[in-house]
Amino acid sequence: SGTASAAGTPAYMSPEQAQGERPSPSADFYAVGVMLYEALTGRLPHSSDDPVTDKLSRDPGPPSEIVPTVPVDLDRLCTALLARDPALRPEGPAILDLLCGDSERTLPPRNRTETPLLGRDAELARLEAAMREVARGEGRIVLITGRSGIGKSALMRAFLARQRREGAVVLTGRCYEQESVPYKALDVVMDAVCQHLASLSLDEREALMPRHRWALGRLFPVLAQFESPPEPTPMREGRRRTMPPEVMDEIRQRQTVAVSGSASEEAPGASDGEPGSRGRASGRPDEPVEEPRNRRKSDDRRRARQTRGWPGASRARETSRVRQTWGRLSGLWSGGGPASDSVDLATTSRATVIVGAPTTGPSGSGPTAADPARIRRQGVTALRQLLEALARHAPLVIAIDDLQWGDVDSAQVLADVMAPPQPPLLLLGSYRREDEETSDFLRNFLAAQASHDVISLETLDERDALELARRLVVASSAQVDAVAVAQEAKGDPFLLVELARYVSSPEPQRSHEPRLPAHGLTVEAVVRARIQHLEAPARRLLEAIVMAAGPVARAVARRAADIGADESTALVQLRATNLLRVKGTRGVEVVEPYHDRIRDAVQAELGEPERRAWHLRLAEALLAEGTVDHERIGKHLEAGGRRKEAVPRYLRAAEAASAALAFDRAADLYRRARDAKILSSSDEVEVRNEYAMVLMRQARFDEAAGQLDHARAMLHPGVERARILHKLGEVELNRGDVQAAAKALESALADLGQPVPQGRHRLLLGNLREVAVQLRHTYFPGRGSARPAQEAERLAMRVHSRLAHAYYLSRGSLQVFWPHLRELNAAERHPPTPELGQAYAGHGLLLSVLPWFRRGLAYVDRSLEIQRGLGDRLGEAQALHQQGVVLYGASRFAEAARVSTVAAERLEAMGDAPEAHDALLHVALAMYRLGRSAEATSIARRVHQEALDTGDVFAAATSILVWTQASGGRVPSLMIQMQVELSERIDHPFTRLLAMQAAGIRLLGAGRPQEAADALDQTAAELERAGLVSTELMSALDVWRATAWRRAAEQATEPRARRRALRRARRCLATGLWSTGRFRNGLPHALREAGRQAALAGSPSAARRLLDASLSVALRQEQAQEAAMTRVVRGVLFGAHEPSLAAEAEAAAAGRSALPQGLRLDGDPRSPAS
């Protein structure tokens, strides 16, 4: 007819017919496939309520998934006939190919059934036991190892077939030595995940999907089809703050040791009394958050970021002990019992931990535009959540063969997915024992697993070997040949199978082959003999497939072998002799050697000229077939001697790998391109630059710095060298070398013609000049240039921003203000840019430190207006966070908590974890000031856990301090000690001071005031020596010192020691009152401390006046906890004469559940010691 119509039974209708297309012969073959599937399994391939929609959305699984005993050829044929793409369905001769062709002409007269599994009962029992543990909700990792050909794959197949029959979801994959796909150990597994998800209804699938599925789609594009929300707005450069894995792993390991040892340090019966909580307790709103939007911006849109903390990396070369003790460390997080320093995070799985953290000092544009490292982390978390959800619905097994050929990126993802507490699934893998020491995957993955089982396969014993030989040998003299085969194979399963095939083949086929018994007969000898009898087209096809070193498209192999119409016959012959296998991958028929030992034997027969020729033929065939696998083409070109043509392929493949977040693979490709030694000087600089960026994303800071330093040496002074020096400064900041970072950034400014003033007098004059410019801009606005800023000018702004950040962490305010004001004044000379928005936000933060809060808020508000006007959602979220920081400094805690919560949600959704961390910590700080200590403690704990995972040293130190204050000092002592040591190692004075302050406050909570006073005095001395800019986080240090010395005086038994302690307390309080006069959040505490000291000195009237002032300030600032503590102190001191004060104190104590936490630090005036 002239028009196409969809007519027929829906179950047997092809997908294209269901869409109204004209029927074709392939549609008839589809119907045959449906009938064959029904005959083999007893059910239809698409048996849902809506079979048409189902068959349009997915290909059915092979019949063998339902009936494992289905013959291999029928299983393959049925799967091919049911392909959704009609072009992929076999017809005519291709169907004969799938059914192994003309048996009389090409096939040996033997049974082609699967080899039986014998002698592995004990190993199967161990796998079954592991599966029973998974059924109880535990996660297990089991690895099967043994030499090549020992039967690892056969054992896995037998076990997985049984699990499929029992209803488990089985996701399988395999690695190939020369495969060039990102995450190659997981690539095929993700295909299986995709197929399983497609088989579910929409409601079922949506119930499983993780929150950040957009990140999962970036990590594994095959999963992006499931209605993935858009990508996050790209982050600007310079937002990475991670520490090398070995540093964080040492912290985890050493903290774990403290779990049992630190419990005795606390007073008996000490308990937080503040369980962790979710939802509102975390300071996060219940309403849904807007999902990220895909926004790509060019380099001229990248700009500086304001950060107060910075990561660091150990400059010592240490041996990585990756996550060896994470399992025990998780116990530290989930303990929380009385008389213990443990932590209660039982309500939060590792996969759903809150993301968030700090940034307030100047930060700049760095090496990445969208911070792919954090997108990758969110993708891994989403993958873990997805697998956990799948495991809740059915037993889940992930099985990966030949792990020795996996890549480092896959090892890192699997290690994170299976990190304790392990998801309730079985990860089953196999690898060659002989490759254990040389495999990058195995070295990384095995080192990361504190707990895994290894099943080591050995040769079969004599009885099992003989039984296997008897089942396989079908010659007339089977009894004699079976015994000889078993003896000659010496228990090697693969050799036994090959020898059995040899003796079972017709006599004419082996008239010129080695005859049994032949001592020293090997698989290679048998394979070589078999290859000698192949017809020429079959041998050429086999050689092409072998030299492809991995699965290769059938069309590519045919073109490379140049055998034309003989390909079908050659393929049948190779399959009949078990030399290769054919399978479908994503709609493409691919071929590969039947076993890697066959590949080894064939390659050994080829000389070097033949190998080079094959590599070039394969490269040309890949290009002719339109293949876009640049890495594979490049490797073939290089192996064929055409290195110059290979390098552009490597570079394109590296860009794709980096975009796919496969950083280790990208680094390897950039290294290949660099080592080719054919790049021009300018090209080599660019390659080293990109190479350094992917190294930085892997926290390989030393290597990244080396690449950038080499690139710098190749350039003359100017803008390009300044750009490299700017990135070198970022890398140095990331590895914690603040001085080296400052030196690189100063050199960058010199190359841009804007050198840093040398000497104190010149620096002072430079600051005065910039202040004058700022005053002119303030009082005479609108006189700036209408000319947009040039790229060199914007680069200078970003360098100034980063330099201000480096100075902030290591020098005084005089050095900090010069680069900051230079950045601000330069940005104001031009129309609004993202750099101007960030400069205003940073200026607002610095003004709040002076502290000029009203003016600081005005600048942050202007930053928000600019970011909104530019449509910069990420910049707007960061400005919101900075607004929350200034509001907190201004003691507007309720507003600060609300604004910071919204900012944290937006920043997390857009992938800016450090900024989100800081926003969440300001929520925690605001909650603490409002008297909601339980919520503050919960947030601080979770942020600290995430900071350890992501290497955010500033977030780790700040969260430790907040946690210590909010919980009354209930923090593991060794956790604080590790933070101090880490900051020392990376020469990060600011975070070290935060951790030292937390250590002193913790000692107060433990009832050890003298030790606390000594520790806090040491902190104050180091703060004075460092000369750092004053901050709100350190503003109460002198007040805590005063409290510690006053409590030490109260505990002193000798009058002289008591008088000395009180003198120290008064001196500390004098400076504490001055600093809290600037940073008023600690003022109620300072005034209360002054009142208590006045009472001890015998001045009741002064004590009453100071306590009344403390209460007044606390009530004005809505600090309920501080108000309650002041009322208790006032009631104890004056309640005997004023009953109303005693009643107020009693009511305050009854109404504040968190009051004991505060009094643990302040000293409970009701206790005998006070």
- The full set of domain ranges for the chain reads 10-99, 121-228+373-456, 277-316+341-362+834-970, 460-521, 533-605, 1079-1162
CA distance 1144 to 1125: 11
Q: What is the 3-state secondary structure (H, E, C) of 533-592?
A: CCCHHHHHHHHHHHHCCCCEEHHHHHHHHCCHHHHHHHHHHHHHCCCEEEEEECCEEEEE
At 598, which amino acid appears?
A: I
Yes or no: say if 1072 and 1084 are a contact pair by the CB < 8 Å rule: no
Least Cα distance to 241 among 905, 939, 942, 805 occurs for 805
Confidence of residue 352 (pLDDT cuts 50, 70, 90): very low
Confidence of residue 522 (pLDDT cuts 50, 70, 90): low
Yes or no: say if 1064 and 1013 are a contact pair by the CB < 8 Å rule: yes
Q: What are phi and psi of 207, to 5 degrees?
A: -65, -20
On the question of pLDDT at 150 being above 60, the answer is yes
Q: Which of 360-369, 687-696, 1019-1028, 1085-1094 has the lowest mean pLDDT?
A: 360-369
CA distance 24 to 27: 5
Q: How deeply is 835 buried, as exposed, middle or buried, from its count of CB atoms within 10 A (0-12, 13-18, 19+)?
A: buried
CA distance 862 to 778: 13
Least Cα distance to 119 among 357, 404, 461 occurs for 461
Average pLDDT over the chain reads 78
Q: Which of 282-291, 669-678, 857-866 has the lowest mean pLDDT?
A: 282-291
On the question of pLDDT at 259 being above 50, the answer is no
On the question of pLDDT at 968 being above 80, the answer is yes
Q: What pLDDT shows up at residue 1017?
A: 96
Q: What pLDDT shows up at residue 911?
A: 66
Yes or no: say if 254 and 318 are a contact pair by the CB < 8 Å rule: no
Residue in the block written with tokens 């809290």: 1076
Q: What pLDDT shows up at residue 227?
A: 57
- Cis? peptide before 517, omega within 30° of 0: yes
On the question of pLDDT at 97 being above 70, the answer is no
Superfamily name and number for 121-228+373-456: P-loop containing nucleotide triphosphate hydrolases (3.40.50.300)
Yes or no: say if 273 and 696 are a contact pair by the CB < 8 Å rule: no
Least Cα distance to 1067 among 1103, 1091, 1093 occurs for 1093
Half-sphere exposure of 816 (CA within 13 A, CB side): 24
On the question of pLDDT at 882 being above 50, the answer is yes
Yes or no: say if 873 and 910 are a contact pair by the CB < 8 Å rule: yes
Q: What pLDDT shows up at residue 614?
A: 92
CATH fold of the domain at 10-99: Transferase(Phosphotransferase); domain 1 (1.10.510)
Least Cα distance to 354 among 804, 939, 857 occurs for 939
Least Cα distance to 993 among 308, 80, 99 occurs for 308
Q: Which of 107-116, 213-222, 347-356 has the lowest mean pLDDT?
A: 347-356
Q: Residues in the chain, how many?
A: 1170
CA distance 583 to 576: 15
Q: For 533-587, how does the pLDDT look when each residue is reduced to its tens digit (9 = 90+)? A: 788 888 899 999 889 877 888 889 889 998 888 888 888 878 777 788 776 555 5
CB count, 10 Å around CB of 1075? 19
CA distance 1143 to 1131: 8
Per the model's pLDDT, the better-predicted residue between 355 and 413 turns out to be 413
Q: Which of 282-291, 589-598, 1158-1167 has the lowest mean pLDDT?
A: 282-291
Yes or no: say if 381 and 155 are a contact pair by the CB < 8 Å rule: no
Q: What is the architecture, at CATH level 2, of domain 277-316+341-362+834-970?
A: Alpha Horseshoe (1.25)
Pick the CATH number of 533-605 from 1.10.10.10, 3.30.950.10, 3.40.50.300, 3.30.70.20: 1.10.10.10
Half-sphere exposure of 1162 (CA within 13 A, CB side): 28
Region of 580 on the Ramachandran plot (φ > 0 left; ψ -120 to 50 alpha; else beta) = beta
What token pair was written down for 183? 């995450």
When pLDDT is averaged across residues 411-428 and rounded to a whole number, the result is 89
CA distance 1091 to 1082: 15
CA distance 821 to 644: 49
Q: What pLDDT shows up at residue 94?
A: 67
- Cα four-point dihedral sign 650, 651, 657, 663: positive
Q: Which of 461-475, 602-616, 638-652 has the lowest mean pLDDT?
A: 461-475
Q: Which helix (H) or strand (E) holds 397?
A: strand 396-401
**Helix, strand or coil, per DSSP, at residue 143:** strand
Q: For 1082-1125, how does the pLDDT look when each residue is reduced to its tens digit (9 = 90+)? A: 999 999 999 999 999 999 999 999 999 999 999 999 998 899 99
Q: For 780-804, how does the pLDDT look when each residue is reduced to its tens digit (9 = 90+)? A: 776 666 678 888 888 999 999 889 8
Q: What is the 3-state secondary structure (H, E, C) of 724-793?
A: HHHHHHHHHHHCCCHHHHHHHHHHHHHHCCCCCCCCHHHHHHHHHHHHHHHHHHHHCCCCCCCCCCCHHH
> Helices 1155-1162 and 989-1005 meet at what angle, rounded to 10?
100
When pLDDT is averaged across residues 117-121 and rounded to a whole number, the result is 83
What token pair was written down for 35? 């009938």
Q: Which of 230-244, 289-303, 363-377, 950-964 has the lowest mean pLDDT?
A: 289-303
Confidence of residue 239 (pLDDT cuts 50, 70, 90): very low
Cα separation values, 67 from 59, 70, 170, 397, 828, Å: 17, 6, 14, 18, 73
Q: Which of 302-316, 357-371, 1101-1115 has the lowest mean pLDDT?
A: 302-316
CA distance 894 to 907: 20
CA distance 769 to 185: 59
On the question of pLDDT at 290 being above 70, the answer is no
Q: What pLDDT shows up at residue 484?
A: 72
Confidence of residue 276 (pLDDT cuts 50, 70, 90): very low
Q: What pLDDT shows up at residue 400?
A: 93
Q: Which of 274-288, 426-440, 1085-1099 has the lowest mean pLDDT?
A: 274-288
Q: For 666-691, how does the pLDDT look when each residue is reduced to its tens digit (9 = 90+)? A: 888 999 999 888 888 889 999 999 99
- Considering the chain, what percentage of its residues have pLDDT values greater than 90? 29
Q: What are phi and psi of 347, to 5 degrees?
A: -80, -5
Residue in the block written with tokens 């015998």: 1098
What token pair was written down for 43? 């059910």
When pLDDT is averaged across residues 1047-1062 and rounded to a whole number, the result is 93
Residues 6+ apart with CB under 8 A from 202: none
When pLDDT is averaged across residues 712-725 and rounded to a whole number, the result is 92
For residue 449, the cross-strand partners are: none
Residue in the block written with tokens 């594979």: 632
When pLDDT is averaged across residues 1156-1169 and rounded to a whole number, the result is 81
On the question of pLDDT at 162 being above 70, the answer is yes
CA distance 576 to 594: 11
Region of 693 on the Ramachandran plot (φ > 0 left; ψ -120 to 50 alpha; else beta) = alpha
When pLDDT is averaged across residues 1006-1024 and rounded to a whole number, the result is 94
On the question of pLDDT at 1040 being above 90, the answer is yes
- Terminal CA-to-CA distance of the chain, rounded, Å? 101
Q: What pLDDT shows up at residue 699?
A: 72
What token pair was written down for 102? 């003309």
Helix intervals (H) in 986-1099:
989-1005, 1009-1026, 1037-1051, 1055-1078, 1083-1096
Confidence of residue 746 (pLDDT cuts 50, 70, 90): very high
Q: What is the CA radius of gyration of the chain?
A: 35
DSSP of 949-1015: HHT-HHHHHHHHHHHHHHTTS-S-HHHHHHHHHHHHHTT-HHHHHHHHHHHHHHHHHTT-HHHHHHH
- Cis? peptide before 851, omega within 30° of 0: yes
**Helix, strand or coil, per DSSP, at residue 614:** helix
Confidence of residue 114 (pLDDT cuts 50, 70, 90): low
Least Cα distance to 621 among 662, 665, 672, 562 occurs for 562
Confidence of residue 479 (pLDDT cuts 50, 70, 90): very low
Q: What pLDDT shows up at residue 506?
A: 56
On the question of pLDDT at 281 being above 50, the answer is no
